[in-house]
Amino acid sequence: MSLTIIILLIILGLFLLILEFFVLPGVTFAGVGGALFIGAGIFMAYKNYGSVGGNTTLIATIVVALFVIVWSLRSGTWKKLMLTSAVDGQVEVKDDSAISVGDEGTAITRLNPVGKALVNGVTIEARCPGNFVDSNTRLEVTKVFKTYIIVKPKI
């Protein structure tokens, strides 16, 4: 084996590990393959060039890997990968006294099985389990929760 093949194996292994670390989530074939390529390159260096060549290859690989890790931490790579926007949305919470079981309302949107309903002048998320209800259908409230209600079509 030539020195070029050993160097290419180690470079390919480092590239696959970087790909695993920055792009692919979890433990994938890229990470395992990268470790195997690096290991194969170091093994071939020991086999073909003895302990001096193998130790030199091992130390060089560790130094290059540490350099890549330090470079990635200092270059702002993490800031490019992090989500920095804040979520400013809120959950719609209704007034507890505005709607109660037995109240009647109207479906604003189609409930299939979730949609919007107007009950006692309050627009709220309504769920109709097991049924699809068209808009403008009269509804009866069967259960009340903080953020939604359970309804059934009024017959």
3-state SS track over 77-97: HHHHHCCCCCCCCCCCCCCCC
Cα distance between residue 61 and residue 53, in whole Å:
12
Mean pLDDT of the chain: 87
pLDDT bucket at 96, cuts 50 / 70 / 90: low
The pairing of beta strand 148-153 with beta strand 122-127: parallel
Q: Is the pLDDT of residue 74 over 60?
A: yes
Q: Which of 50, 42, 53, 52 is nearest to 5 (CA)?
A: 42
Q: Is the pLDDT of residue 77 over 70?
A: no
- Beta-carbon contacts of 1 under 8 Å, excluding residues fewer than 6 positions away, are 44, 47, 48
- Quick one: average pLDDT of 13-37? 86
For the chain, the structural domain boundaries read 3-79, 104-153
CATH class given for the domain over 104-153: mainly beta
pLDDT bucket at 5, cuts 50 / 70 / 90: very high
